[in-house]
Amino acid sequence: MKSKYEPLVKLKKKALDTAERALIGANNALSSASDKLNRAYEELSKMALPAKGSVGEFTQATAMIHAQHQSIEEAQQVLQTAEQRQIQMRERFKEAMVDFEKFKYLEVQEMNAQLKELKEQEAKMLDEIGTMTYKREIL
């Protein structure tokens, strides 16, 4: 049976699939940003200032630690952006899911109404056939 909602359901399904892919991408980006931040912290924990040596070595180690702190700050910014994007994509996915479910429900309701109408027509036809058969038997 065809439904007038069928094209809308297909359209909403495409929108839902697109939103789902975007959410998966946002989740992957968030995971990647989190991993990058964790690696940056691990690298920082491995760094240490030299206890002995020249001022040049101390300056170089300090510069490397400072650069690693900057790398951590950048990774934190990327992570924060990825979290915000994931929240936006999750909301978009929820909205698309609700829209899809609404039109799917309407489609099912329309199909049930059509099925009910067909059953009523069939019952009327069977009643008519029964009446005609009964009249033949009487005659």
What are the pLDDT digits (tens) for 59-87?
998 999 999 999 999 999 999 999 999 99
- Has residue 129 been placed in a domain? no
**Residue 29 domain-assigned (yes or no):** yes
More confident residue, 113 or 52: 113
Tell me the residue range of the domain where 30 lies: 6-103
Tell whether 115 is covered by a domain: no
The answer to the question of residue 85 being in a domain is yes
Does residue 72 lie within any of the structural domains?
yes
Rounded Cα distance, 58 and 47, in Å: 12
Q: Please report whether residue 47 resides in a domain.
A: yes
Q: What spatial distance separates the first Cα and last Cα of the chain, rounded to whole Å?
A: 41
**Looking at the domain assignment, is residue 14 inside a domain?**
yes
pTM of this prediction?
A: 0.75
Look at 51 and 15; give whichever has higher pLDDT: 15
Q: How far is CA 26 from CA 16, 79, 90, 97, 131, in A?
A: 15, 11, 9, 17, 67
Number of domains in the chain: 1
Q: Does the pLDDT at position 6 exceed 80? A: yes
**What pLDDT digit, counting tens, does each position of 100-138 carry?**
999 999 999 999 999 999 999 999 998 888 888 877 777
Which residues, 6+ apart, have CB-to-CB distance to 82 below 8 Å? 26, 29, 30, 32, 33, 34
Asked if residue 21 belongs to a domain, the reply is yes
